[in-house]
Amino acid sequence: MMTKRLYYSDSWKKTFSALVTGLKRDEKGDWICLDQTVFYPEGGGQPCDTGILAYDGKTARVKDVQADEDGFIWHLTEPQNDRLPGIGETVTGEIDWARRYDFMQQHTGEHILANSLFELTGGFTHGLYIGQNDASIDVTLKDGKTHLDQDTLSRIEELANRHVREDGAIVCRFPEPEEFETLPLRKAPTVAENIRVCDIGGYEMVACAGTHLSHASQVGLIKILSAQPARGKLRLFFLCGQRAVDHYRKIYTAISRSSALLSSKEEEVPDRVADLQKQLHNTKSELAALRRKNTLARVPDLLRDAQTLPDGRRLIACELEETEFSDMEALAGALVKESRVLVLLCVKKEGRRNLLFARSADLDTNMSDLIKATGAKGGGRPEFARGAADDALPWEAAKVMVPHF
Ligand SMILES: [Zn+2]
C-alpha cells in the first residue's frame, strides 16, 4: 500500500499520526516510510515540507521528503538521540507551517497567474520553480515568442490580482473518468490515471497534485518581478503573498530613502538619478581636462631642471602624484618633442609603480631594453615603453642605469 497523502484531502492539516512501514539508509542519512503523511514530498517545483516526528517520548527532525516511483513517501529523519522508530511503531508528526503556507501562497498564486497569462496571451505555463527568494514559471507563447511587453505584463498582473480579490473557493478532488472527460481543463494533464483536479473559483481548472489554499484571497498579492527569454520560452519571475508584501516593504524603504536623499518625489527618483549621472559624467570630463592641463603645465619647469648627462643627453626623471596613465603619456609626448631628451616617469598607484620611459626621436637609446633591464614587467618600442613593478627597486635602478644606455 502506497503512502496515503493526507494533504490531498486537507492541505491545512499540520499534525498527524502514522505507522512506520519502511526504513532505509543512504549517504544522506536515515529515511522513514510511513503509511500516511501530511509531509509534502518535493515535486512539481515545490520544495518538500520539513518538520518533526515524535515517538516514544523522543523527537526527530524531518529534513527532506521524497516520493519514490511506487508512491511511497520517505522522510529523511535526524533523531535527537540515536534511536529511530521501528517498523510498525506509531509516530506523530508536525510540519513547519510557515514554510508550507508560504509554498501554498506561491503555488496557488501561480495557478491564478498562469490562468491570467493564458487568458490574455494564450501562452501555456510549465516548470514552476519555487526558490528561496522568488518563484518562476516558464511560458510557451504563441508563434515562438519569448518576450512580453511591460504593458501586457501589467495587464496580466492586474487580472491575476482581480481574480485574487474575487476570492473564489479552491476545491481539489479526484473525479471519475467519465466526469473527467467533460471538465474544461486549461491544459492537458501529464499523468494518465488517478488524476487530481484543482478548481479555483470555477474559472481555473488544471490537473495538479500540489498543496493549495482554500480561497483565492489567501494568496494576498501577486507581483510579477521580471520576464526574460530562456531556452526558447519566456521565464517569468514573480512573488505571492507574504513574499510580495516583504518585497514591497523592502523596495519602498529603499525608494523612500533615495527620495529623501534626492529631495524629490518617489516617482521622480529615476529622472533625478539620470540627471545626476549626466552631471557626474560632465564633472568627470571637466576634472580630466583640468588634470591634463595641470600635468602639461609642468613641461617648462621639467625641461629647465633636466639633468645634462656627460654625452649631452638631457635626463628628466620625475615621480608623479595621482596621475592617470593617459596624462603620463601626454606629458612624455610633450617633453620628447624637445631635442635629445630622455624621460623617465613613475606613478604609484594602489601599491604598484607604473613606469613610462620615452626619448626624443633624435636619440637611439632603447627605452624598452631599459625597462626590461630594471627588472620591471613590461616593454614596448625603443622610443616609448611602459612597465610596472611591485616595489621601488626598478624605478631606482632605471635612474642609475639610464646614462649607460
Ligand atoms: Zn496546484
Instruction: Give the three cell numbers for residue 275.
Output: 540627471
Task: Kindly indicate the confidence band of residue 238, based on its pLDDT and cuts at 50, 70 and 90.
Answer: very high
- The pLDDT value given to residue 172: 95
Report the first-to-last Cα separation within the chain, whole angstroms.
92
Structural domain count, the chain: 4
116 part of a folded domain: yes
| CA 244 – ligand 1 centroid, Å | 19
Partnered with residue 15 across adjacent β-strands are 94
Question: Does residue 128 contact residue 135 with C-beta atoms inside 8 Å?
Answer: yes
Can you tell me the mean pLDDT for 139-149? 92
Phi and psi of 337, rounded to 5°? -65, -25
| CA 13 – ligand 1 centroid, Å | 17
Q: pLDDT by residue (tens digit) across 152-180? A: 999 999 999 999 999 999 999 999 988 88
| CA 92 – ligand 1 centroid, Å | 26
Residues 271 and 351 in one domain: no
255 part of a folded domain: no
Can you tell me the mean pLDDT for 254-258? 96
Partnered with residue 115 across adjacent β-strands are none
Look up the CATH number of the domain holding residue 372.
3.10.310.40
Residues 116 and 174 in one domain: yes
- The pLDDT value given to residue 399: 92
Taking a 5 Å cut-off on Cβ, the residues next to ion ligand 1 are 198, 208, 210
Instruction: Give the three cell numbers for residue 95.
Output: 510540519
376 part of a folded domain: yes
Residues 343 and 370 in one domain: yes
- With a cut of 80, say whether residue 81 has pLDDT above it: no
Residues 268 and 313 in one domain: no
| CA 211 – ligand 1 centroid, Å | 6
Question: Radius of gyration over alpha carbons of the chain, in Å?
Answer: 36
259 part of a folded domain: no
- The pLDDT value given to residue 177: 86
Q: pLDDT by residue (tens digit) across 201-230? A: 988 999 999 999 999 999 999 999 999 999
| CA 205 – ligand 1 centroid, Å | 9
Look up the CATH number of the domain holding residue 26.
2.40.30.130
Burial of 54 (0-12, 13-18, 19+ CB in 10 A): middle
256 part of a folded domain: no
Residues 212 and 110 in one domain: yes
Among residues 47, 63, 95, which one ends one of the domains?
95
| CA 108 – ligand 1 centroid, Å | 6
Q: pLDDT by residue (tens digit) across 283-301? A: 999 999 999 999 999 999 9
Residues 119 and 233 in one domain: yes
- With a cut of 80, say whether residue 231 has pLDDT above it: yes
| CA 203 – ligand 1 centroid, Å | 14
Crossing angle for the helix pair 150-166 and 97-121, to the nearest 10 degrees: 120
What is the pLDDT of the chain when averaged over all its residues? Answer: 94
Among residues 95, 120, 138, which one ends one of the domains?
95
- The pLDDT value given to residue 305: 93
142 part of a folded domain: yes
Q: pLDDT by residue (tens digit) across 323-370? A: 888 999 999 999 999 999 999 999 998 889 999 999 999 999 999 999
3-state secondary structure the chain: CCCEEHHHHCCCCCEEEEEEEEEEEECCEEEEEECEECCCCCECCECCCCEEEEECCEEEEEEEEEECCCCCEEEEEEECCCCCCCCCCEEEEEECHHHHHHHHHHHHHHHHHHHHHHHHHCCEEEEEEECCCCEEEEEECHHHCCCCCHHHHHHHHHHHHHHHHHCCEEEEECCCHHHHHHCCCCCCCCCCCCCCEEEECCCEEEECCCCCCCEHHHHCCEEEEEEEEECCEEEEEEEEHHHHHHHHHHHHHHHHHHHHHHCCCHHHHHHHHHHHHHHHHHHHHHHHHHHHHHHHCCHHHHHHCCEECCCCCEEEEEEECCCCHHHHHHHHHHHCCCCCEEEEEEEEECCEEEEEEEECCCCCCCHHHHHHHCCCEEEEECCEEEEEECCCHHHHHHHHHHHHC
- With a cut of 90, say whether residue 192 has pLDDT above it: no
- The pLDDT value given to residue 405: 86
Residues 328 and 375 in one domain: yes
User: What is the spatial distance between Cα 322 and Cα 299, in angstroms, rounded to a whole number?
Assistant: 17
Residues 288 and 318 in one domain: no
| CA 148 – ligand 1 centroid, Å | 24
| CA 115 – ligand 1 centroid, Å | 12
Q: pLDDT by residue (tens digit) across 3-54? A: 999 999 999 999 999 999 999 999 999 999 999 999 999 998 899 999 999 9
254 part of a folded domain: no
| CA 120 – ligand 1 centroid, Å | 20
- The pLDDT value given to residue 127: 80
Residues 288 and 309 in one domain: no
Please compute, for residue 114, the number of CA atoms within 13 A of its CA located in the half-sphere on the CB side.
25
Among residues 249, 283, 309, which one ends one of the domains?
249
Residues 106 and 238 in one domain: yes
- Domain of residue 269 covers 264-293
Phi and psi of 102, rounded to 5°? -60, -45
| CA 99 – ligand 1 centroid, Å | 16
Sheet with 170-173, edge to edge strand ranges: 170-173, 197-200, 204-207
Residues 117 and 245 in one domain: yes
Instruction: Give the three cell numbers for residue 363.
Output: 636619440
122 part of a folded domain: yes
Residues 229 and 181 in one domain: yes
Look up the CATH number of the domain holding residue 135.
3.30.980.10
